[in-house]
Amino acid sequence: MTTRRYFGTDGIRGRVGDGLITPDFVLKLGWASGRVLGRGGGKILIGKDTRISGYMFESALEAGLVAAGVNIRLLGPMATPGVAYLTRTFRAAAGIVITASHNPYQDNGIKFFSPDGDKLPDAIEAAIEAEIEQPLRTVESAAIGKAKRIDDANGRYIEFCKSTFPASIDLQGLKLVVDCAHGATYQSAPQVFEELGAEVLTLGAEPDGFNINRDVGSTHPQALQRMVVEAGADLGIAFDGDGDRVLMVDGKGQLVDGDRLLYVVTKDRLAEGTMRGEVVGTLMSNLGFEHALRRLGVGFARVKVGDRYIMEHLKRADGILGGEPSGHLICRDRASTGDGIIAALQVLAGLRRLGLSLDEVCAEVESYPQILINVPLHARLDVVGLPAVRAALASAEHALGGRGRILLRPSGTEPLVRVMVEGVDADEVQRVAEQLAGVVREQIADQARG
């Protein structure tokens, strides 16, 4: 397996001004990606979320790409899956999104899409990394690329989202609260649901460059839960900062995670006779979700955490549905990548056709107690490989016996170590998770001192 110096599991991400997330590196990245991705003469699209630093990195990418002789199209603030869609429809050589997804505004990052709207293959990422190591040389003046802004980009994406919703039904009579996390869906999401007939109340739809994901969105759903109950809404829908995740809140104010939303879509596809293949989840997917799928007669496969691994498995097995509890849901029969708006539409369509409320369908999925503790990691460190941590993990697994499972892993997108424990007994799960997380904290502190 090729070792990556710059690319992580989902592009490049970090704190603005530190490490790789600086204007000079992003300019070089633009030039290097232009050299690799623009060799056939195709244009490259650039979108972004609503972070204040997006202006700076958009300019840096633009400068690097045109210096490599590539023509670009600027999309402005747009959901990440919208950039993937437009990359396909513009027949572009690649799409680039400036975003740090669910992270706070102080972070930013760069994601890439292939001409098909997929994540870049490993070989292409490796080629870009190799090009970064070369000195930047601007093409001759006659060959410098040109930049053009696409003014109707969100309008195109809105129409695509609506096209994935069945023409035979609408959302008339449905009262929704839509939480856009002050992020990239603030223009598109409310309009999609309104145009399909719903009454829409908005939350987190006033970005100022600094408030993305702050106390709103799929990572902070408490405000949405309160608003759904206070407004007497039927449902709440929460996106993350770049629009590739979605969670929901039922009419009682209860949070519904990605596992249960995926169950709704699966049940609907079965009823419509369009289900194909097994559902793909990750190591974080709840065991109760797996058991509920089994009762439907649907197979289930687990892969590593990350939507790219879900998509890879779906393609190999010719499946159509996969996702994570965090709300990355892939409906491969509707979109080429995880798309929060399109996933929400598939859930709403399923509820309409099944004639059931969200809480009624979700009652069919018994979620086992699951505790996730995020331990901050301040430096690159293989915590999981430390002898004390390995011993604590073995002890925790022995304590659980066959009554649950443990997942200990570094985050692929944030400086964290994730400690997840799942089991039948909630008190036991809490105790085991806290003990294991305590050892991880101690070892990180010891390494920092030593």
- What are the catalytic residues? 101
**Beta bridge partners of residue 176, listed in sequence order:** 200, 235
Through-space distance between the first and last CA atoms of the chain, rounded to whole angstroms: 31
Q: What is the dihedral of CA 414, 420, 426, 428, to 10 degrees?
A: -130
**Beta bridge partners of residue 410, listed in sequence order:** 417
Query: In sequence order, what are the residues at sequence separation of 6 or more whose Cβ sits closer than 8 angstroms to the Cβ of residue 336?
Result: 84, 85, 88, 116, 117, 118
- Which one-letter DSSP state was computed for residue 82? H
**Beta bridge partners of residue 77, listed in sequence order:** 48
> DSSP secondary structure string, 290-356?
HHHHHHHT--EEEE-SSHHHHHHHHHHHT--EEE-TTS-EEETTT-SS--HHHHHHHHHHHHHHHT-
What number of CA atoms fall less than 13 Å from residue 3's CA on the CB side?
1
Query: In sequence order, what are the residues at sequence separation of 6 or more whose Cβ sits closer than 8 angstroms to the Cβ of residue 381?
Result: 444, 447
Give which of 336, 23, 313, 348 is closest to 160, Cα–Cα: 336
